[in-house]
Amino acid sequence: MGKTMKWFGIGVAGLVLVLAGLMIAVPLLVDPNDYKESLVTIVHERTGRELSIPGKIDLSVSMKLKVVFGLGQISLANASAGQGFPEQNFAAAEQARIELALWPLLTSRRLEIKSLILDGVRINLHRSKDGSNNWQDLMTSEEPPSSAKKKAEAPGLSALEVGLIRLTNISVDLVDQQAGRHLTLKEVAVTAGPISSGSSFPLTIGGGLDLEEQGVRSMIRLDVEGDLTLFLAEQRFLLTGFQLRSRLQRPGLPEGGLELQGRATAEIDLLKQRVTVDDLKMSLGQIEMRGSFRLEDFTTLKIESVLVVQPFSPRSFAMDLGLEVPAFQADDALSRFGAELKAQGDRQRLEISPLVITLDQSTLKGRAALLGLGTQPRYEVELHGDRLDLDRYAVKPAAGVVSAGKSKPEQGLAKPTEEPGAGGPLIPVALLRQLKLGADLRLDSLKGGGAELSQVVIHATVADGRLQVKPLDAMLYGGTLHVEAEVDARTDNPRVSAQKGLKGVNLGDLAQAMTGKDEFSGTLSLDAAVTSHGVTRDQLVSQANGKISLACTDGEVKKLKVLKVIRTARALYRGEAMPTVADEEATGFARLTATGVIQNGVVFNEDLQATSDLMAVNGHGTVDLVNEHLDYQLDIRIARGLNRNDTTGLTEFSGRVIPYRIAGPFSDLKQSAAVADLLKGEVKNLLMKELGRKLDPKKGAAEDEAPNLLQQGLKGLFGR
């Protein structure tokens, strides 16, 4: 027993002497400052950059083989100034300090880091206008494959223990001259520990992000905290109690900014190449979302996700942000929005099905797909909606604003004119050139411009800067609508073409819905083929060219008062009392047909024909869509033998052509009948008769009546 204690004592003493010797010898025999020049040389040979360590490198070993390694200031120069990069350092640090325990590493390959402290790290990244950058040379590895294989076969650590990690005042500055962007990650701080494999430990990360782009500065503050567990042998990480808080500040947002909050539980398994996020809940103002996310295979990116956006008011959300909400036709427009979706797929094709979207009174259900993650993606959409009322979202015109061509100028003032192309762009040229889309939309009911369509089917594609709608089919007031259209935005002056067909549409119901007035009736069929160029409404209208044809049966134009205007003109001509004709007396027809040519926004027609029991009409004229002006000449023939029961009271015009003109702006059309020419002959006969009576009193009239009759005739002759 005594010998055992003796040898044990000798062993302990020897170990103490060895430790003491290491404590003294390592700092004395191994001075890391002696290797600074060699280290600087190696870095320069490998990178071409200058490494600067102006301060002293500290190295000490304690009785427990605890090694403390500390650096003062250290910096790495930028890439060669000849490449056009700033002369500032690429990276620099104020302090770096690590405290290691050697004994566990030597005996059991267990790495124990008592503390890791890094402060004042600054990294400056720069991309020039030509696309070159100051970090690409550091990313290039010249290490031979054999060396990488040796590293892969080297024995790993059995465990990791870290007492404290504290990173403070870390910043990354990126100047991207090519994109015109300046991004700064600043005041980043990371605190973690104590860290032990298999045990959870607290982790906090905080920092700010400044982004300046095209003169607009955005600031983001991000704070993350939670408990992290490392399973090193399994290469698995578990994050629980994860909480995120972020605040965005930029022009146009409220002074306090926009705050995003979220929480979740996440697991990352490197061996199985799997990332799982459960119990995800996020809120952005009054917007609340919940869901889950799963990613497998880091190469193919197999994804499964569920997301629910709780119903909220976009109108109220925008107002909370201090944004101006347009005055929509419906006061409750954008008062409710919600969505539910399930996504699954990989980087080649991501399918979203089912997809449910609720917008105010409308519900859309269907699917969507994203093809080609990481490349120029293509989108596919199939939706079926119960109803969609676009008129609810039309913006009310500002008070006092009247469309061009619809108002009379005040006397003495010239009518204001708009420059060609005035107004905002209707065609998003840049978007169409980038977008790839295939869409199929079905709606039970669609309302727009006052008209309501049913059983709507729309198929649209966008590719290579071309939007094609082939077809748009719908039921419309007892008839059908068929449209095929294309927008070619491959040039700066896009080309638009459309073919439209209406068959058997109830014109009265359509006009009533679109204008709110009961002015037309009949069954309408119409075909039109139009092409144009431009991006604004004015450009598209003024450059429209094409053809149009229409036919309407059993119809009535209530504002067209042909019989009343003719009777009134005749009465004025003869100096008779105005006829008492009901204002609602309209001009009806059994059939009306017309074809037209559209040239630069003006419709020219030469073959209008209309027939009814009372009259036959031929017409020609122009419809100026640019200036919203109509100029039409009608030749009217009153039917013969219609004096029975005084049906028209115009039998003296039977078989004769009555010129009839309709002209003026759309909002103030004027109608007139050229009756004077037809009655000139009657006036001449009247004058000759009265002169004859004057010469031969036996023929009847008294002398004192002749001047009155003569006066009436002269008044009629001169249009008074």
pLDDT reading at 394 higher than 80: yes
Residues 468 and 519 in one domain: yes
pLDDT reading at 693 higher than 80: no
Assess if residue 696 is contained within a domain: yes
The bridge status of strand 51-52 relative to strand 362-371 is unpaired
Band (pLDDT 50/70/90 cuts) for residue 715 is very low
pLDDT reading at 610 higher than 60: yes
The bridge status of strand 159-162 relative to strand 110-119 is parallel
Band (pLDDT 50/70/90 cuts) for residue 146 is low
Structure confidence at residue 705 (pLDDT): 45
Of 148-157, 437-446, 557-566, the one with minimum mean pLDDT is 148-157
CA dist 250 and 323 (Å) reads 13
Say if CB 620 and CB 663 are below 8 A apart: no
Band (pLDDT 50/70/90 cuts) for residue 24 is very low
What is the pLDDT averaged over residues 409-428? 52
Band (pLDDT 50/70/90 cuts) for residue 412 is very low
Structure confidence at residue 150 (pLDDT): 47
CA dist 563 and 586 (Å) reads 8
Residues 83 and 112 in one domain: yes
Which residue is it, tokens 């905290």? 225
Structure confidence at residue 353 (pLDDT): 94
The tokens for 178 are 């090519």
Residues 548 and 527 in one domain: no
Band (pLDDT 50/70/90 cuts) for residue 612 is confident
Tens-place pLDDT, residues 155-193: 555 566 778 888 899 999 998 888 888 999 998 999 998
Percent of residues, the chain, with pLDDT higher than 70: 72
pLDDT reading at 712 higher than 60: no
Residues 6+ apart with CB under 8 A from 222: 205, 206, 207, 208, 209, 244, 245, 246
Residues 534 and 570 in one domain: no
Structure confidence at residue 494 (pLDDT): 94
CA dist 548 and 543 (Å) reads 16
What is the pLDDT averaged over residues 628-648? 69
Of 494-498, 502-506, 613-617, the one with minimum mean pLDDT is 613-617
Number of domains in the chain: 4
Assess if residue 78 is contained within a domain: yes
DSSP 405-444: TSSPPPTTSPPP-PPTT-S-BSS-HHHHHH--EEEEEEEE
Average pLDDT, the chain: 79
CA dist 554 and 589 (Å) reads 6
Which residue is it, tokens 């008592």? 114
Residues 588 and 653 in one domain: yes
pLDDT reading at 441 higher than 90: yes
For residue 626, which of 705, 537, 712 has the smallest C-alpha distance? 537
Band (pLDDT 50/70/90 cuts) for residue 719 is very low
Sequence-separated contacts (24+) of 328-332 with Cβ below 8 Å = 328/392, 328/393, 328/394, 328/395, 328/396, 329/391, 329/392, 329/393, 329/394, 329/395, 329/396, 330/360, 330/389, 330/391, 330/392, 330/393, 332/360
Of 141-145, 148-152, 370-374, 449-453, the one with minimum mean pLDDT is 148-152
Tens-place pLDDT, residues 461-495: 999 999 999 999 999 999 999 999 999 999 989 99
- CA angle (295, 300, 304) in 5-degree steps: 30
Residues 504 and 584 in one domain: no
Structure confidence at residue 213 (pLDDT): 85
Tens-place pLDDT, residues 219-250: 999 999 999 998 888 889 999 999 999 998 88
- Residues spanned by the domain of 121: 16-132+159-196
pLDDT reading at 584 higher than 60: no
Cβ-based neighbour number of residue 457 at 10 Å: 12
pLDDT reading at 555 higher than 50: yes
Q: Could you say which of 143, 173, 196 is where a domain stops? A: 196
Residues 6+ apart with CB under 8 A from 385: 362, 363, 364, 365, 441, 442, 443, 444
Band (pLDDT 50/70/90 cuts) for residue 110 is low
Structure confidence at residue 63 (pLDDT): 57
Assess if residue 170 is contained within a domain: yes
Assess if residue 68 is contained within a domain: yes
Assess if residue 654 is contained within a domain: yes
Q: Could you say which of 514, 543, 572 is where a domain stops? A: 543
Say if CB 220 and CB 209 are below 8 A apart: yes
Residues 96 and 164 in one domain: yes
Give the 3-state secondary structure percentages of the chain, helix then strand then coil, rounded to 5.
20, 50, 30
Q: Could you say which of 543, 577, 612 is where a domain stops? A: 543
Report helix, strand or coil for 176. Answer: strand
Please list the alpha-helical segments (H only) found in 561-651. Answer: 562-574
Band (pLDDT 50/70/90 cuts) for residue 104 is low
Residue with the larger pLDDT of the pair 415 and 668: 668
Structure confidence at residue 7 (pLDDT): 44
Residues 169 and 42 in one domain: yes
Tens-place pLDDT, residues 111-120: 677 888 888 8
Residues 127 and 64 in one domain: yes
Residues 52 and 163 in one domain: yes
Assess if residue 49 is contained within a domain: yes
Residues 523 and 616 in one domain: no
Residues 593 and 473 in one domain: no
CA dist 681 and 716 (Å) reads 11
Band (pLDDT 50/70/90 cuts) for residue 91 is confident
Assess if residue 5 is contained within a domain: no
Assess if residue 514 is contained within a domain: yes
pLDDT reading at 70 higher than 90: no
Of 202-216, 276-290, 388-402, the one with minimum mean pLDDT is 388-402
